[in-house]
Every structure is written in structure tokens, then in C-alpha cells.
Amino acid sequence: MPDVSKPLAWLLLVAAGLSEVGWAMGLKYSAGFTRPLTTALTIIAIIISMALLGLAARTLPIGTAYAVWTGIGAVGTVILGMLLLGDSANLARLACVALIIIGIVGLKFAGG
């Protein structure tokens, strides 16, 4: 399969990051892989996330792709944890999330 265009690679990378959020949250909701349906959905999300990351990494630098992928996953998971699970939303945590977002945007515009 040929490499994808750079704009498409970035779209695939964002989708991979969002899929990472899905499987990270799935880890929580699968209750240690004891819930079969949630476990299956989590595994599917892992496969989708890795496949999309792999496609994006064919075009984008691997360091950039991996950092952005994990950044999107981390930010999305922290935000959903706050919204759905009652995780702390104190100023320090929000500031750290903002720093991750700044890093993701910085990598995008720094030649990724």
C-alpha cells in the first residue's frame, strides 16, 4: 500500500488517537476484562487505533505520530474521566492537560 498524503495521515492520526481514548476507557469499563462485550469492543478499538497509527506513521515522522497519538489519548481519557467517572478537575490537572494540548499542536506545526 502506498503512503497516504500528509493531510490524510493527520486525519488518520487523529482518528487513531480518538480510538485510543475508546480503548483506554474500555479498560475501565471492562472491569479487568470480565465483561465479554466491553472486552471485545476494547480489543477492537485497540486494533483500529494501532492500524490507523501504523498507516499515519508511513507518512509522518514516527516520533511525531507516536507523541500526538498518545497525547490525544491522554487528553481525551483525562477529560472523559473527569466527565464520566468523577476524576478530579482541579486547576493543576487542567493546566497539565493544556500543556499536553500545546505540545500536540506544537508538534503538528513544527514540521510533522
Mention every residue, 6+ apart, whose C-beta is less than 8 A from residue 75: 97, 100, 101, 104
The whole-number pLDDT of residue 112 equals: 62
pLDDT (tens digit per residue) in 57-101? 999 999 999 999 999 999 999 999 999 999 999 999 999 999 999
The Cα–Cα gap between 52 and 29 comes to: 23
The Cα–Cα gap between 31 and 49 comes to: 21
pTM for the full predicted model: 0.89
pLDDT (tens digit per residue) in 21-45? 999 999 999 999 999 999 999 999 9
